Amino acid sequence: MAQLPFKAARDGAIAALIAGLLALPLVGFRLVDQSGGEGLANRWPQLVAMIILVFVGRLALSLISGGAVRSVLFFMAAFAIGSLIIPWPSQFLEVVAVGGAALIAMRAAFLLLGSRPFGSMSGAVGLAGRYAPWAMIAFAALLPLLPFANRGVLDTGVMILTYVLLGWGLNIVTGLAGLLDLGYAAFFAIGAYTAAILGSTYGFSFWACLPLAAAFASAAGLLLGFPVLRLRGDYFAIVTLGFGEIIRIVANNWRSLTNGSQGIAGAPRPSFFGIADFTASPAPGHTAFNALFGIPYNPIHRIIFLYYLVLGAALLVNGFTLRIRRLPIGRAWEALREDEIAAQALGIDRRRVKLTAFAIGAAWGGVGGAFFAARQGFVSPESFGFMESVAVTAIVVLGGMGSQLGVVFAAVLYVGLSELFRPLEEYRMLVFGIAMIAIMRFRPRGLISTRRPTATLL
Amino acid sequence: MAYFVQQLINGLTLGSIYGLIAIGYTMVYGIIGMINFAHGEIYMIGAFVGLITILALMSAGIASVPILLILAILVAMVIAGLYGWTIERLIYRPLRGAPRLAPLISAIGLSIFLQQYVQLTQGGRVKTLPPLISGGFTLMRGDDGFTVGISNFQIVVFLLTLALMAGLTLIINRTELGRAQRAAAADPLMAALCGVDVDRTISVTFIIGAALAAVAGVMVVLYYGVIDFFIGFLAGLKAFTAAVLGGVGSLPGALLGGLVLGLVESFWSAYADAAYKDVAAYAILVLVLIFRPSGLMGRPEVEKV
Amino acid sequence: MTALLSIKDLTMRFGGLVAIDSVSFDVRPEAITALIGPNGAGKTTLFNCVTGFYRPRSGSIRLDCSGRLTELSGQPGHCIAQLGIARTFQNIRLFANMTVLENLLVAQHAELMRASAFSIAGILGLPSYRRAEKKALDKARYWLDRVGLLSRANEPAQFLSYGQQRRLEIARAICSGPRLLCLDEPAAGLNSRETIELASLVRAVSQELGLAVLLIEHDMSLVMEISDHIVVLDYGRKIAEGSPASIRGDKAVIAAYLGEPDGEAA
């Protein structure tokens, strides 16, 4: 035991040395714009602070694994509190210092209490799993009626629901069939552009656009899927990524169809089921929504209606998925995810079954795109980049492959956290990247990893 | 004709850079069978480290271009190699034996993280560097007065790529390390049983791949003179395409794939619509994977039952 | 009696290596045929050719489909499975995260797909589909009972013990309704008691369903006990064929095994 502090200090020093070398060029120096070209500025305080943090963190982890849990707990708790008082060179470093120390302290505390930091969660999640869906649906249904539901809240709600819709759509492909699709935004884009082009150029209504958006996206899914679905998983992922990029580049450059990077305005707004429009002064022969119900005009009516539409669509996708999971085709998807070769030996046509999943997932992506176009009233290639695809894929994978509830949690976290912490907006993607790494490391099956059987005996 | 030759030279320069990055993909895939999606970001970091090193040396009063170049490449190789080592050690190693797609998803997260890290520390602005190596030779003069030139810098790129490839081939074929590397790629478990330190071999593979990508990064800084935090994404995808085209696992294949891809892009931009040159690259990726998944120089993979 | 499966001059190469060298033999209906031979003799490769995972270089594999001979070589694996050939794998391949019951339902995929009429009848929950599903559940229940796994029906397959996983894989193959059941080393890793149980299960199933069984096995006592007919491979060639009694005394077979008498004769 006398060796422990020495060994831990050595571990810390090595880690600090490596971190210092890694950070020296990129944190220690900063490229600045000068009159004669690029110049360099120093950032020694940040560099030193970072090295200290790495040293302390590694030291504490070494001490924990060496058994000195109690002293680490006190030390790190003190460090976290102290970090709040000490002036750090940047706010970010302060957050890392306090948060990191708190995490290590928590780890030590959990060790002392004799439970694993994440293991204890699954039981609670399993229990919550029974009631949470109904509570969530009730909350989502009542949200527009709540007093704080202003325009901003509803917009965020629509955004979360759109991600939930997309996540549930992709869950068929990635969660059930096990196909990692990194180009899902392509189908989303095809749906959105279908709606926008048919609506603005040909005067189609939103309700006519919706099935067409699904059909076009699904057709694109079939066209892409037919040749590439026999590729192995990681190659398939990269090819779908390439397909997503191709769609974006085409949208950017096929000006006669898509108006290039300027995008298309005038995507169709949904009417009240074709009965009434959400405007103060409807076109001749049309009825205004407020007039139909004899209430004063309020622009929020349209947003509330859109909110319920997306909620309805999402629940429809959910119902569809829950149902199809229990059918032979759904079981075949999961069987392919588990073991393709065994599935083939049981008479399952790998390609056709995957193609079904891919086309259905694409169709739901197209529906999501049409809703996106309806919300923005405007589509441009920017909205369909690689990061959009990664976001949806991450929502499915991090939420828990195949778990419908996991998708909701992940979507709320993804959209909600960034809305809550606007000041830290610029760190959002950084944290997102770290979260992807951390969840794969500590919970590779996602936040919610319980799987409900599709059939039971007795 | 003159125009054609000029595109050939430009395409081969670009292709050498892709080839250098592609080697990292191909070696890592060969040994642990994962697509190191963050490899493009290592190239980007190499470019930044190279640029910062050059500026730091210049402000320290060093003006000799060869010294600047050599030191920038060495520093970038060392730092990028250290990044490669750290990434493997901290992120990929714990995931061995995890579900199939976990390393790929981690790699995507890592790629996002590294991009954001560089954006936050260095800003999102495009960085520029005026050319250090100027001049060149006029090779031929076309009938229409179009001259074909090869710049001194392009010569540096070719020579450096050739030297690195030759060195790497020697290492892989002749040294103990290379033998360990090939053994671990063929069968990690058996290699370990025969006394090969597989962990160390994998680490070295990451270091070599990252160092070569860093050289490509420094080349790009000097060749194009503009970089930003986002260059790694596209270059990474292109290099991956090159690796697949050449046959994943094959070192000469990676270089060949890079050269072919560089030529395709160069000629596509010259004779077709430059806006769609990336589409051409992706199309190659898709077509190769569908029709010849073992690439130009790779061995076909038999599905194990 | 005509053959159910007839293999003629089957040859399979990997690069320069000849894994199977013009092998011919018949698998008779309602009988157990064993395929034996030292390691690397080409037994599993032959299985993979029969079940469509490999495309043989030359030769024919014909299956008797109600009097008509159907060529299997070159057909995709799922079609061969649907023609009535089911198999198990040397290294067990279950759907690990799905329950024991679900594994058996996946095996009845083709039949249930027909009943669900492109999933439409299934989504609507029509009575025709519900009847088919009930039948599939009953079949699964019956076979789970037969292999002694009924009490574990709702657990993920990965929680079963090794021997249980072997039995589940066999039950799954049976549930797909085959006429020919190919078992790739079913007794590997089982203790002697489990091996005896397995032997009686295979025998009983074959008799009960009138099922032909093609069996790769290293456990000679098991092979000698349950086989009606034995085919011996060595270095990709057939070196002997006949009843268990005749194989036991065959000189070529003894010579082929002599290099490794321990593991093989255990």
Residue B51 inside a domain? The answer is yes
Nearest to B282 among A25, A37, A242 (CB): A242
Cα separation of C3 and B38, whole Å? 57
Distances (CA, A) of B212 to B21, B158, B174: 6, 14, 19
- A371 vs A35 pLDDT, higher one: A371
Q: What is the pLDDT of residue B290?
A: 84
- A89-103, B102-116, C193-207: which range is least confident on average? A89-103
CATH number at C243 reads 3.40.50.300
Question: What is the percent of chain A where pLDDT is above 70?
Answer: 96
- Domain shared by C75 and C199, yes or no: yes
Residue B268 inside a domain? The answer is yes
DSSP state of B302: P
pLDDT category at B301 given cuts 50, 70, 90 is: low
Asked whether the predicted pLDDT for residue A149 surpasses 80, the reply is no
Instruction: Say how many Å lie between the first and final Cα of chain B, rounded.
Output: 53
Residue linked to tokens 């099922």 = C211
Residue C240 inside a domain? The answer is yes
Q: What is the pLDDT of residue C167?
A: 93
Distance of CA B36 to the CA centre of its chain: 12
- Domain shared by C182 and C109, yes or no: no
Note whether A328 contacts C94, CB cutoff 8 Å.
no
| Check: complex ipTM more than 0.95 | no
What mean pLDDT, rounded, does chain C reach? Answer: 89
User: Structure tokens of B285?
Assistant: 């990726």
CATH number at B60 reads 1.10.3470
Q: What is the pLDDT of residue C266?
A: 39
**What is the 3-state composition of chain C as percent helix, strand, coil, each rounded to the nearest 5?**
45, 25, 30
Total structural domains in chain C? Answer: 2
Residue B296 inside a domain? The answer is no
Q: Rounded to 5 degrees, what angle do the CA atoms A273, A275, A281 make?
A: 115
Residue C89 inside a domain? The answer is no
- Domain shared by C79 and C182, yes or no: yes
Asked whether the predicted pLDDT for residue A1 surpasses 60, the reply is no
Inform me whether the C-beta atom of residue A396 falls under 8 Å from chain B C-beta atoms. Answer: no
- Domain shared by C31 and C9, yes or no: yes
Note whether B305 contacts C44, CB cutoff 8 Å.
yes
Cα separation of A362 and A187, whole Å? 6
Inform me whether the C-beta atom of residue A334 falls under 8 Å from chain C C-beta atoms. Answer: yes
- Domain shared by C144 and C189, yes or no: no
Asked whether the predicted pLDDT for residue A299 surpasses 90, the reply is no
- Domain shared by C233 and C186, yes or no: yes
Asked whether the predicted pLDDT for residue C113 surpasses 90, the reply is no
To the nearest 10 degrees (0 to 180), the angle between helices B251-271 and B231-246 is 120
Cα separation of C65 and C84, whole Å? 9
Residue C91 inside a domain? The answer is no
Note whether B104 contacts A234, CB cutoff 8 Å.
yes
pLDDT category at A126 given cuts 50, 70, 90 is: low
pLDDT category at B220 given cuts 50, 70, 90 is: very high
What mean pLDDT, rounded, does chain A reach? Answer: 87
Asked whether the predicted pLDDT for residue A157 surpasses 80, the reply is yes
Strand partners, B147: B141
Asked whether the predicted pLDDT for residue A190 surpasses 70, the reply is yes
Residue B108 inside a domain? The answer is yes
Q: Rounded to 5 degrees, what angle do the CA atoms A153, A159, A161 make?
A: 100
The tens digit of pLDDT for each residue in A24-50 reads 999 999 998 887 778 888 899 999 999
Residue B304 inside a domain? The answer is no
- Domain shared by C182 and C78, yes or no: yes
- Domain shared by C67 and C117, yes or no: no
- Domain shared by C145 and C220, yes or no: no
Q: What are the two backbone dihedrals, phi and then psi, of residue B102, each rounded to the nearest 5 degrees?
A: -60, -45
| Domains in chain A with CATH codes | 3-113 (no CATH), 122-442 (1.10.3470)
pLDDT category at A364 given cuts 50, 70, 90 is: very high
pLDDT category at B159 given cuts 50, 70, 90 is: very high
Q: Which residues contact B141 (CB under 8 A, 6 or more apart)?
A: B2, B147, B148
Q: What is the pLDDT of residue A419?
A: 75
Asked whether the predicted pLDDT for residue C1 surpasses 60, the reply is no
Asked whether the predicted pLDDT for residue A420 surpasses 90, the reply is no
Residue linked to tokens 């050319």 = B131
- A161-165, A205-209, C133-137: which range is least confident on average? A205-209
The tens digit of pLDDT for each residue in B182-208 reads 888 888 888 888 888 889 999 999 999
Q: Rounded to 5 degrees, what angle do the CA atoms A43, A45, A50 make?
A: 100
Provide the residue range defining the domain that includes C144.
96-177
Q: H helices then E strands: how many in chain A?
A: 19, 4
Note whether B305 contacts C14, CB cutoff 8 Å.
no
- Domain shared by C155 and C192, yes or no: no
Residue B300 inside a domain? The answer is no
Which is it for the CA torsion C38, C40, C41, C46, positive or negative?
positive
Residue C90 inside a domain? The answer is no
Q: Which amino acid is at A207?
A: W
Cα separation of B270 and A457, whole Å? 66
Q: Which residues contact A218 (CB under 8 A, 6 or more apart)?
A: A359, A360, A362, A363, A366
- A47 vs C2 pLDDT, higher one: A47
Cα separation of A213 and A169, whole Å? 14
- Domain shared by C101 and C220, yes or no: no
Q: Which residues contact A26 (CB under 8 A, 6 or more apart)?
A: B45, B48, B49, B52, B117, B118, B121, B122
Residue C215 inside a domain? The answer is yes
pLDDT category at A349 given cuts 50, 70, 90 is: very high
Residue B67 inside a domain? The answer is yes
The CB density around residue B232, as the number of other CB atoms within 10 Å, is 28
What subunits make at least 3 CB pairs under 8 angstroms with A? B, C
The CB density around residue B281, as the number of other CB atoms within 10 Å, is 24
pLDDT category at A127 given cuts 50, 70, 90 is: low
Residue B297 inside a domain? The answer is no
Q: What is the pLDDT of residue C260?
A: 53
Q: What is the pLDDT of residue B57?
A: 93
Average pLDDT over residues A358-384: 91
Q: What is the pLDDT of residue C146?
A: 92
Provide the residue range defining the domain that includes B58.
2-291
Total structural domains in chain B? Answer: 1
- Domain shared by C107 and C34, yes or no: no
pLDDT category at B266 given cuts 50, 70, 90 is: very high
The tens digit of pLDDT for each residue in A69-83 reads 888 888 888 898 888
Q: Which of C177, C210, C225 is the last residue of a domain?
A: C177
Instruction: Give the H or E element holding residue A220.
Output: helix A206-228
Asked whether the predicted pLDDT for residue C265 surpasses 50, the reply is no
Distances (CA, A) of C260 to A85, C44, C253: 75, 19, 12
DSSP state of B38: T
Q: Which of A179, A223, A437, A447 to substitute to test the interface with B, most B CBs within 10 Å?
A: A437
Question: What is the percent of chain A where pLDDT is above 90?
Answer: 41
pLDDT category at A121 given cuts 50, 70, 90 is: low
Asked whether the predicted pLDDT for residue A125 surpasses 70, the reply is no
Q: What is the pLDDT of residue A120?
A: 47
Which residues of chain A have a CB within 8 Å of the CB of B293?
Answer: 231, 235
Residues of C with CB under 8 A from a CB of A: 51-53, 76-79, 81-82, 86-87, 89, 93-99, 101-102, 105-110, 112-113, 116, 119, 122-123, 133, 137, 140-141, 144, 150, 153-154, 156, 172-173, 176
What mean pLDDT, rounded, does chain B reach? Answer: 89
Q: Which of C161, C177, C193 is the last residue of a domain?
A: C177
